[in-house]
């Protein structure tokens, strides 16, 4: 499977994360190319990973067996129109898109009947601890197996049966690293107010998050049970957790996750 040549159209944050994951999983760098409209990110990717790069989307698309769209949703129509004009054979290839919000039907309006996988990874893919949601349209079993292989290094793949679930994956994992970073940022701020240096505060918070996530993954216990183990009766944790509860944490989280879903649905209507 590593023989397939894979081209990324767009060489930003998410392309970098997925390329890093592919390389870590043993995908040969000779079979990966990134195209971008400007040079700086290509130079960095070539230096960091030794992959091939091009300023021409059409060159990368013509070279590849599999094309991964990694531009912002708002850029996608232009990118598709340009590829159709300059590399029309690309519509016969297996296409993968990382874009939030855009349904398969939109790509079909732009490119005709295509074999497409919508993939929704998240940034921890960079370190092999991501989650990728995958939704296939018109793909063969071999193509699904190939895409599963492609994203295997990101961490964990979740295949979806309904396209709408991609928006749910966005809320649960795609956007979610930012929720945790926001929470950790708030904890770091308070730790600094308490007198810890910025570096110590960041390290203490991140190490605690890593420890908690590792325990949760390794333990059969629920999040609630793990939380109970920290919470002594009449103790400090109870006060902190009660404060979160009184401030409406659960509702706040549910509302935020729904806002991510609503935005994805909105994008589908307006792009
Ligand atoms: N960031 C995330 O956590 C996640 C993002 N996604 C999806 O991934 C996609 C990419 O997001 P992200 O990597 O964050 O965005 P970035 O802005 O980091 O990357 C987009 C890249 O596309 C390049 N680009 C823009 N227009 C063109 C064009 N016409 N031809 C070639 N390259 C072009 C930009 O070039 P330049 O450097 O010149 O600006 C930039 O490098 C989005 O569709 C997003 O929805 C999915 C899951 C998670
Ligand atoms: O914010 C966004 O739209 C993208 C999709 C998921 C994470 N980042």
Q: Return the CATH number at 15.
A: 3.40.50.720
Look up the domain containing 184 and give its range.
176-268
* Residue 170 lies inside a defined structural domain of this protein: no
Number of structural domains found in the chain: 2
Q: How far apart are CA 200 and CA 206, in angstroms?
A: 10
Is the interface score ipTM higher than 0.90? yes
Ligand 1 nearest-atom number relative to CA 170: 47
Residue that the structure tokens 């940022």 belong to: 185
- What is the rounded average pLDDT for all residues in the chain? 97
* Residue 78 lies inside a defined structural domain of this protein: yes
Q: What is the pLDDT of residue 268?
A: 86
Q: How far apart are CA 155 and CA 92, in angstroms?
A: 29
- Determine contact, residues 174/120, Cβ cutoff 8 Å: yes
Percent of the chain past pLDDT 70, that is, above it, reads 100
Residues 111 and 183 in one domain: no
123 pLDDT tier (thresholds 50, 70, 90): very high
DSSP 34-73: EE-SSSHHHHHHHHHH--EEES-HHHHHHH-SEEEE-S-H
* Residue 76 lies inside a defined structural domain of this protein: yes
Q: Choose one of 96, 129, 163: the last residue of a domain.
A: 163
Residues 27 and 143 in one domain: yes
Mean pLDDT of 240-259: 98
* Residue 1 lies inside a defined structural domain of this protein: no
Given a cut of 90, whether residue 270 has pLDDT beyond it is: no
Q: Choose one of 163, 187, 210: the last residue of a domain.
A: 163
Angle CA 203–236–202, to nearest 5:
10
Ligand nearest to the CA of 176: 2
Ligand 2 nearest-atom number relative to CA 174: 6
Residues 47 and 97 in one domain: yes
Residues 130 and 224 in one domain: no
Residues 6+ apart with CB under 8 A from 153: 21, 22, 23, 24, 25, 26, 27, 125, 128
Residues 58 and 183 in one domain: no
Give the containing element (helix H, strand E) for 168. Answer: helix 165-169
Residue that the structure tokens 């599963």 belong to: 148
Mean pLDDT of 68-87: 97
269 pLDDT tier (thresholds 50, 70, 90): confident
Ligand 2 nearest-atom number relative to CA 73: 3
Mean pLDDT of 225-229: 97
CA of 175 to the centre of ligand 2 (A): 5
Best substitution site from 73, 98, 174, 270 to test ligand 2's pocket, by max atoms within 8 Å of Cβ?
A: 174
How many residues are recorded in the chain? 271
Q: Return the CATH number at 240.
A: 1.10.3730.10
Mean pLDDT of 258-269: 95
Mean pLDDT of 41-64: 98
Residues 152 and 50 in one domain: yes
Residues 152 and 68 in one domain: yes
* Residue 143 lies inside a defined structural domain of this protein: yes
1 pLDDT tier (thresholds 50, 70, 90): confident
Residues 195 and 152 in one domain: no
Q: What does pTM read for this prediction?
A: 0.96
Given a cut of 90, whether residue 66 has pLDDT beyond it is: yes
* Residue 158 lies inside a defined structural domain of this protein: yes
Residues 6+ apart with CB under 8 A from 182: none
Q: What is the pLDDT of residue 271?
A: 80
Tokens of 51: 């992959």
- A 10 A CB-CB count for 265 gives 13
pLDDT tens-digit readout, 8-36: 999 999 999 999 999 999 999 999 999 99
Residues 128 and 89 in one domain: yes
Q: Choose one of 130, 163, 196: the last residue of a domain.
A: 163
Residues 143 and 17 in one domain: yes
Residues 24 and 151 in one domain: yes
* Residue 212 lies inside a defined structural domain of this protein: yes
pLDDT top residue among 166 and 1: 166
Tokens of 13: 């944050």
pLDDT tens-digit readout, 143-185: 999 999 999 999 999 999 999 999 999 999 999 999 999 999 9
Q: What is the pLDDT of residue 36?
A: 98
Residues 76 and 197 in one domain: no
* Residue 261 lies inside a defined structural domain of this protein: yes
Residue that the structure tokens 């792009």 belong to: 271
């Amino acid at each position: 499977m590593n023989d397939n040549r894979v081209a990324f159209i767009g060489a930003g944050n998410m392309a970098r994360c997925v390329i890093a994951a592919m390389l870590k999983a043993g995908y040969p760098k000779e079979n990966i190319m990134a195209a971008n409209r400007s040079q700086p990110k290509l130079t960095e990717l070539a230096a960091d990973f030794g992959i091939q790069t091009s300023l021409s989307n059409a060159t990368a698309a013509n070279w590849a067996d599999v094309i991964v769209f990694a531009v912002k949703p708002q850029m996608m129509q232009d990118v598709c129109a340009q590829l159709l004009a300059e590399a029309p054979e690309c519509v016969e290839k297996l296409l993968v898109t990382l874009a939030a919000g855009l349904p398969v039907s939109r790509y079909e309006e732009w490119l005709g009947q295509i074999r497409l996988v919508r993939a929704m990874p998240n940034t921890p893919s960079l370190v092999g601890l991501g989650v990728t949601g995958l939704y296939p349209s018109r793909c063969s079993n071999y193509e699904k197996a190939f895409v599963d292989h492609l994203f295997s290094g990101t961490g964990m793949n979740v295949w979806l049966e309904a396209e709408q679930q991609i928006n749910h994956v966005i809320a649960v994992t795609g956007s979610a690293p930012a929720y945790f970073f926001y929470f950790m940022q708030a904890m770091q701020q308070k730790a600094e107010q308490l007198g810890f240096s910025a570096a110590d505060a960041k390290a203490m918070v991140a190490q605690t998050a890593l420890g908690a996530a590792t325990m949760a993954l390794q333990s059969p216990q629920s999040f609630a049970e793990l939380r109970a183990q920290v919470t002594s009766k009449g103790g400090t944790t109870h006060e902190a957790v009660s404060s979160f509860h009184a401030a409406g944490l659960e509702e706040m989280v549910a509302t935020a996750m729904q806002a991510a879903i609503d935005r994805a649905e909105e994008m589908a209507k307006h792009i």
